[in-house]
Amino acid sequence: MPPVPPARPAVSLSRLQRLRGAAACISPFAREISLILLIKFLLLVLIWWAFFSEPAAKHMRLDPARVEQQLLRVPVTEPSHAQR
């Protein structure tokens, strides 16, 4: 009877195993910084969604010329005279 070849090992790794292997190559400091940046990004998105995603008063409209006048207005200053 001829010898039976050994069972072939599973070559393909699951995605989770590949991600764990890739994460093991990254230093702990880089992983920590990446996690902190991800959390900060998610918090910024949450803040934007909560406060800035829609106007508070949907019925309120502003005249663009008036907004421009308020934003670009240069304050008038009196010339200062040096006292001796």
pLDDT for the residue numbered 70: 85
pLDDT for the residue numbered 36: 97
| Residue type, position 56, single letter | A
Residues 6+ apart with CB under 8 A from 31: 23
pLDDT for the residue numbered 48: 92
Interior CA angle at 33 toward 22 and 30, to 5°?
Answer: 40
pLDDT for the residue numbered 1: 65
pLDDT for the residue numbered 8: 63
pLDDT for the residue numbered 60: 77
Average pLDDT for consecutive 10-residue bins of the chain (84 residues)? 65 73 81 96 95 78 84 71 62
